Chains A and B, each alone.
Chain A
Amino acid sequence: MAQIVFTDAFHSVNGTDLSAYVKGGALDISRAMLDDTVMGDSAQSNAAGIQQWSLSVDYKQDYASGGPHQTIFALDGAAAFTVIIQPTNAAESTTNPKFTGSAVLQSYNPVSGRHGDLLMCRAQYACAGLLTADTTP
């Protein structure tokens, strides 16, 4: 089993490649757990419900065109858009799935930091569509 040193992820928001600004991120995927425990069960039983996912990304902030701020702030309150996150910036494969989903912008902090810091920002994306894992280039 190959490990990955997380150095070369691909990430795009609404068609804009923001990979070069990403410091880190987290993609959380889950299913609603529906309690279908009935008489006769000696343990709780759960059935998987609908998919739920969220993506949180920390960026190195840049206010220039094509950077995080102008890309993300324009999506405040906007209709759903496509977000993509992929472990390695290379062709999709079974070992390098491209996670793609339709999302809305849940939160974004355009200014956040202490004097002397490298200015950073964080965006939180909430699901508005099914997240898929594309493994076929």
Chain B
Amino acid sequence: MGQLVFQNAKIFFAGANLQTDLNQVDVNTARAMLNATVFGDTFLRNRAGIAIVNASIAGFWNAGTNPDKPYPTLFDNLGSDDKLLSVFPTTIEEGSTTNKGLAFNATQSRFNLRGRHGDLLGFDAAFTGRGQRLLEVTCLKDASVNMETASQNWTAFNVGAVTASQYLYAGLHVLEHQGTSPTLDVTIQSDSAIGFPSPTTRITFTQATTRGGQYATRVAGAITDTWWRASWTLGGSASPGFKFLVWLAVMGA
């Protein structure tokens, strides 16, 4: 039986990599409890209703022009809808179906500064869901640390098929970029074999030219392909490149 000393969480919010200034993260999912008690029951019968998803982060105040700093990123996004939030509790392991992250499309609801005289000035922020459940996600490509400077079809991973009652979800965090007028086009493809003899594009993200997050419109199953990969095309001049992270999830509604 494993246990985890919580040391290495990765947190991405829209186009920001917030890890370096955070020291606490909480992700919660709940369900509305619907009273379904009927005649004949001698107990309160609950049924699970819609999902209620929220998260909170906390850390040390750090301000600057780098969007990966809490300020002004978390101040400017306060109240903005449809910002992708992804949390990886341990290391990011591409293609892993066991070491996964958690993600949801969010609205940032709170940004607080806090501290007493003599403290390191701290902050906390909170986020709530935008109408869909909390997703357990598999990273297809982690380019959050090293700049990608070439177009590629990335490694294929066997994530499994999408049944008729499931959906394919996908998210993209576009972080730093370089070059002149750089562009990034990311797709998620599937195939029936590891060699990708006849790939099918299942998700096409909007072309990125700057930082940001994208929560793709989900795709309904059934999809019998079990092999999945990220594919991206770079454009621009003067050595265009991007740091980014793309994930997919296969889950019910």
Contacts and interface: CB of A to CB of B under 8 A. Distances in A.
Interface of A: 20-21, 32, 50-53, 60-65, 67, 70, 73, 76-80, 103-119, 124, 126-131
A67 B6 contact: no
Contact of A111 (B23, B25, B36, B44): B25
A127 B28 contact: no
Given A52-B44, A65-B98, A104-B48, A109 B27 contact: yes
B47 A104 contact: yes
Contacts of A119: 3-6, 89
Nearest to B25: A111
Given A108-B29, A115-B24, A50 B2 contact: no
A115 B42 contact: no
A53 B30 CA distance: 17
Given A109-B26, A116-B5, A127 B31 contact: no
Nearest to B36: A128
Q: Range of interface residues on chain B? A: 35 or more
B33 A21 contact: no
A112 B89 CA distance: 9
B1 A20 contact: yes
B46 interface: yes
A118 B1 CA distance: 14
Given A105-B31, A111-B89, A117-B6, 11 more contacts: A32-B44, A51-B42, A63-B99, A77-B133, A104-B46, A106-B33, A106-B48, A113-B26, A115-B23, A115-B24, A127-B43
B44 A63 contact: no
A73 B252 CA distance: 12
Interface in B129-161: 133-134, 136
Nearest to B8: A115
B51 interface: yes
